[in-house]
Structure formats: structure tokens, C-alpha cells
Structure 1
Amino acid sequence: MPADLALVTDSTAYLPQETLDRHGITVVPLSVAVGDTVFAEGLEISPKDVAEALRGKERVTTSRPNPETFAAAYRAAADAGAREIVSVHISGELSGTVEAARLAAGEAPVPVHVVDSRLVGMALGYGVLAAAEAIAAGREAAEAAAAATRRTGLTSGFFYVDTLEYLRRGGRIGAARALLGSALAVKPLLHLDGGRIEPLEKVRTASRAIARLEEIAVERAAELEVDVTVHHLAAEERAEPLAERLRRRIPGLRELYVGEVGAVIGAHVGPGLLAVVVSPR
């Protein structure tokens, strides 16, 4: 990445470490508290730790980075020679992270282009990658921010959870709250819509829900040239076979990535999550 432009995201993008290193992307961590102990996502707590805490019925909460954390990242980028910064983050409907980034941007020593992806996980990650590729191609910061916005606008995220209980506890359930009354009788499929978690369909069994998740991803991909991510939390035995089926069924597939979500998203969805991100190029 050119030294005069810097790229920042947050820890909920769940980009592979080698991708972060290759593009020189700075990651600002969100926080996860288990009981009274606070950890930095991606540095001090693993998805496995969160899954075990949730199964043990421990209190798990999350919080955004404070503006000073962003300010420090922006100062460091400027000190390293950046004349502008692109900062791409989790949906403002799900977290105050983008608000903290904007507050810090107002005091930064160089211009900062803050992008609300309206997404999370690798759905956000693909927007970060679009910005990285634009910068590598010699585009200006405003163009890189626009590339991120374009890619995230095309990207869809669909997911299955074993229970809505964790989303309910975290207050992230949105309109999907309407499913709670029948939660014991259904396995909900949800999606990201307008930056929020919204209900998509109700299915009677886990196996049917996963089959339907596969169908939705295939329909969304159609004949387009797409990248796909299969996310999970403590459900690799479900994620890997789903990924292989998608590999066979999506004709325009370019890259397919299977990865566990991190501690922050894990805290809100619980063990058993299975998600598919479809991102047209």
C-alpha cells in the first residue's frame, strides 16, 4: 500500500491476518467483557473463549473502541507519512464504532474518510479489501472510500442461529424480535438489511435452515462473479461441508473463505452460528 495513504478498520471485519499484513491495514479492536474482565478482540480473547463463556451462562458484553483509540491510530498513520486515511467500519446500526471513528477523525492531523459499511464480518471485510485494492492501484483516498461503499452496497449477509436468545440479550435483534414468541418452534434465518439484523425466513429444523441458507446464497450469487465467505462460531462441522457445496454450485465463484467469527459477534449470536456472505466484484 502506498505510504501516503493509510487504511484502518476494526476487529469485526475478521479479515485473515495474512491479508491485513499484505495490505498494511490497521485494525482497531472492539472490547469484550466476560464478567468484570475486559479483553481486546483479536488480541486477548478467542472465539472459543466466548463460546465457552456463553455455554457456561457467564455474562458477556461488548463495547466500541473509545475515540482516543482511533485518534491514536490516526496519529500513528500520520506520523508514518500518511497524508490521508480511509477508515471502514461495522454498521452504525449495530455498534457505536463508526461514531467513535468520526469523532476522532474531526481531530486527526490529516483528513480521514470514515465509511459506515452497514455490514459486519467479512461483509465489512470485502469493503475494506475494495479500498485496499483501490489504494494499491494508485487511487486517491476519496476514491478508495467510494470503492468500499460500492462493494459493501453489493454485498449480502445471511445467517442462521440456533437461538435468538443471545441477540435478544445484546439488544441487536431489531425487527427479528417478532420471532421471539415462536422461537422454540422455529430455526430463524436472518439477514443484514439497512445495517440492521432483520428476519428473513422461519424454518422448522436446523437441517432445513442450513439447506435453505445454501439455496439463498446460490440464488444471490446467480451467474455473477462473486467472493463468498462462510462464517461460523463453534460449528466447523457445519461450515466446511456447506462451503464445499457452495464451491460446487456457484459458477462465478472467485474466492471462498471459511472463518470463525470473532469474540464480539460471537457474543451476540452464540455457538452454532452459520453465516454466508456473498460479495459481487
Structure 2
Amino acid sequence: MKTAIVVDSTAYLPEELLEKYDIYTIPLSVVMGDETYRENVDISTDEFFEKMAEMDTLPTTSQPSIGDYILLLESLYRDGYTDVISFHLSAKISGTCQSAISAGESVEGINVHVIDSQVAAYVQGFLALYAAQNKDEMPLEELIEHVEEMKKKENTNAYFIVDTLTNLQKGGRLSNAQALVGSLLKVKPILDFRDGMIVPYEKIRTKKKAKKKVEEVFGREIEKHQDKNITAVVIHSNAEEEGRKWKAELESLYPHVKFTLSYFGPVIGTHLGEGALGLGYTTFDVEVD
């Protein structure tokens, strides 16, 4: 038995980690005008935000084609893999999980175990990293059980602060009523994932207060897991300086937590917009360097 770990591109794991832990990726795409770009393949995150700023309409996003996924699985089969654990952003906001399932049913000789992370971005990446770092240490069935336990909200969670709900509303990831309330009050909404859906957690008047609220919630949640090695990630949407500053502040508040910095790339950035921030964590021991 030989197991490959696959994660879709919206985990935004750095290339050095993908190479170090032998993790394969399948890219999602953004459609900008008449052009379709696979994120981190045909367009970089910086290029994406530059192009989006010049557009009058919001880009759209697209899941990987079943054909692309089949090509990846066939390549893994030729390389001797018998099993694939494939991690994807929440099935409630993307059809990527279903594409992976359909592709797996189309390729003989390799078993595809699709994991709906029920989250997105680097928090999804925690699951793939854990699987890659432990696949040789435990049987496949046990590893999948661990991952399913890991993805439960009490073990892996995330909060997002967005400057505006407009992108989420236009992209159909949040209801019109929720977006309208946010725009009228000019709030900085805090969002989280609930049962795989992006939902409002709380509406705060300013970004500074929103970050303070997330810090407080984060502190209460990790206090329940004092015996665990907590790994956390600060995620930014084309706001690296702000992300680095917040990470430094969090490191001083919670010195026992291992922090890393990530970003929202083209697909997730399309929906959250520029200036968004995220804070995610897992109670499972994961190496992020």
C-alpha cells in the first residue's frame, strides 16, 4: 500500500511544504473577463489582485475539471500509489469535493478517499499536512479516522474579518439580507464556518474591535486545550503587512501557540475581497515549517 496526499489549491500551502511532505495539488480557477486562470499556475496572487482592481465586475471562480483530476490520479497510479487521501474546501461552497469523488470513480486501480474539510484556506491545509506527516506512522483507516476527528469544529476552527460583504453576496456565498445589513451598518463582520457554510459570527463597528473580539474568542477556545500543541495561522487578503503585525501581536499574547502566516489567493480572495483577515487553528500537532 502506498498513499498519496492531495489538496486543492485553496489551501495555499507554500511550495516548500508541498515539496517537503510530498503533497500534490489540484488547482481551482478564476475567470476574469474572457480569460480563465488556474491559481498559482497561470496567475499569481499579486497579479490577480492587480487585475481585479481594474475590473468593473467581480471575477468568478471554477472548480477543477473532472478531466484534470483524472489525469492527476492516473499519474499517481503510474507512480505506484494505491490510495489517495484528497482534501478539499467545504462542499457547501464549492463542487470540488464532488469532482474528486467523480474522478475517483473513473480511475481503476487506485482508491480515492475524499475529505470535505468543511473549511477553506490554510485551515484546510492543516488537515493535509497532518495526513502527510503521519501517513507512514499509522494504518490508512486509522489516519482517516484521525483526520475526521481533527476537522471537527472543537478541534480545528477559523474566524474571518472582511472589510465588506459585497464580494460574498455577489458570489452567492452569503444571503442578500445579511449583506444588506452589513452595508447599512458599515460594520466589519466576523464570519466563521458552521456545518461547512460561511455564516456571520458577529458584527463589529471597526476592524480594530473585530480583531480584538477574534483574539478573545481564540483565547477562550485554546484555553480548553492547554494540554495540546496548538498550531495557528494568520491569513491576509493582499494585506501582508497588516497580517504580519497581527501575527506578532498574537504571538506576544499567546507565546505557547505556534503561529504561521498565510494568504487568501485568487479563488478565496475573489469572495472575501481585499483587506480580509483570518485566524485559524488546530489542536492536532502539525508541523508548519
TM-score (structure 1 length as normaliser): 0.93
1:6-37 deviation line (CA, Å, top 9, x unaligned)? 11110011111111101111100001111110
State the shift of 1:177 in Å: 4.2
For residue 99 of structure 1, what is the amino acid of its counterpart? Q
| Residue of structure 2 equivalent to 1:180 | 180
Q: Where do residues 186-197 of structure 1 align in structure 2 (5 Å cutoff)? A: 186-197=187-198
State the shift of 1:54 in Å: 3.1
- CA–CA distance in structure 1, aligned partners of residues 241 and 132 of structure 2: 32
**Does the CA-based 8 Å contact 2:86-2:112 persist in structure 1?**
yes
**Does the CA-based 8 Å contact 1:86-1:112 persist in structure 2?**
yes
User: Relative to structure 1, is the Cα distance of residues 218 and 152 closer, same or farther in structure 2, using a 3 angstrom cutoff?
Assistant: same
For residue 158 of structure 1, what is the amino acid of its counterpart? Y
Q: Where do residues 249-264 of structure 1 align in structure 2 (5 Å cutoff)? A: 249-253=253-257, 255-264=258-267
**Aligned-residue RMSD, C-alpha:** 1.7
Find runs of 4+ consecutive structure 1 residues off by over 4 angstroms.
none
User: Relative to structure 1, is the Cα distance of residues 140 and 58 closer, same or farther in structure 2, using a 3 angstrom cutoff?
Assistant: farther
State the shift of 1:201 in Å: 0.6
State the shift of 1:209 in Å: 1.4
Instruction: Specify the SS of the correspondent of 2:31.
Output: strand
Given the alignment of the two structures, is residue 38 of structure 1 paired with residue 42 of structure 2, yes or no? no
Moved more, 103-112 or 25-34: 103-112
**Does the CA-based 8 Å contact 1:220-1:278 persist in structure 2?**
no
- CA–CA distance in structure 2, aligned partners of residues 141 and 61 of structure 1: 36
1:39-61 deviation line (CA, Å, top 9, x unaligned)? 01111112222323333334311
| Residue of structure 2 equivalent to 1:158 | 159
For residue 98 of structure 2, what is the amino acid of its counterpart? E
| Residue of structure 2 equivalent to 1:101 | 100
- CA–CA distance in structure 1, aligned partners of residues 177 and 133 of structure 2: 38
User: Relative to structure 1, is the Cα distance of residues 9 and 98 closer, same or farther in structure 2, using a 3 angstrom cutoff?
Assistant: same
- Count of residue correspondences: 276
Instruction: Specify the SS of the correspondent of 1:157.
Output: strand
Moved more, 210-219 or 150-159: 210-219
Instruction: Specify the SS of the correspondent of 1:162.
Output: coil
| Residue of structure 1 equivalent to 2:53 | 55
Instruction: Specify the SS of the correspondent of 1:87.
Output: strand
1:157-200 deviation line (CA, Å, top 9, x unaligned)? 101000000101111115x8425224242111111111110000
| Residue of structure 1 equivalent to 2:287 | none
- CA–CA distance in structure 2, aligned partners of residues 122 and 133 of structure 1: 16
- CA–CA distance in structure 1, aligned partners of residues 51 and 276 of structure 2: 15
| Residue of structure 2 equivalent to 1:119 | 119
Moved more, 140-149 or 226-235: 140-149
Q: Where do residues 134-173 of structure 1 align in structure 2 (5 Å cutoff)? A: 134-137=134-137, 139-153=138-152, 154-173=155-174
Q: Which runs of 5+ in 1 are unaligned?
A: none
Given the alignment of the two structures, is residue 230 of structure 1 paired with residue 229 of structure 2, yes or no? no
- CA–CA distance in structure 2, aligned partners of residues 29 and 151 of structure 1: 24
Which residue, 242, 258, 276 being the options, matches 2:279? Answer: 276
User: What percentage of residue pairs aligned between the two structures are identical?
Assistant: 31
User: Relative to structure 1, is the Cα distance of residues 123 and 177 closer, same or farther in structure 2, using a 3 angstrom cutoff?
Assistant: farther
Q: Which runs of 5+ in 2 are unaligned?
A: 285-289
State the shift of 1:217 in Å: 2.1
- CA–CA distance in structure 2, aligned partners of residues 177 and 41 of structure 1: 31
**Does the CA-based 8 Å contact 1:54-1:270 persist in structure 2?**
no
| Residue of structure 2 equivalent to 1:248 | 252
Moved more, 48-57 or 156-165: 48-57
**Does the CA-based 8 Å contact 2:74-2:107 persist in structure 1?**
yes
**Does the CA-based 8 Å contact 1:113-1:142 persist in structure 2?**
no
For residue 102 of structure 2, what is the amino acid of its counterpart? L
- CA–CA distance in structure 2, aligned partners of residues 256 and 136 of structure 1: 25
**Does the CA-based 8 Å contact 2:165-2:182 persist in structure 1?**
no
**Does the CA-based 8 Å contact 1:32-1:62 persist in structure 2?**
yes
State the shift of 1:152 in Å: 1.8
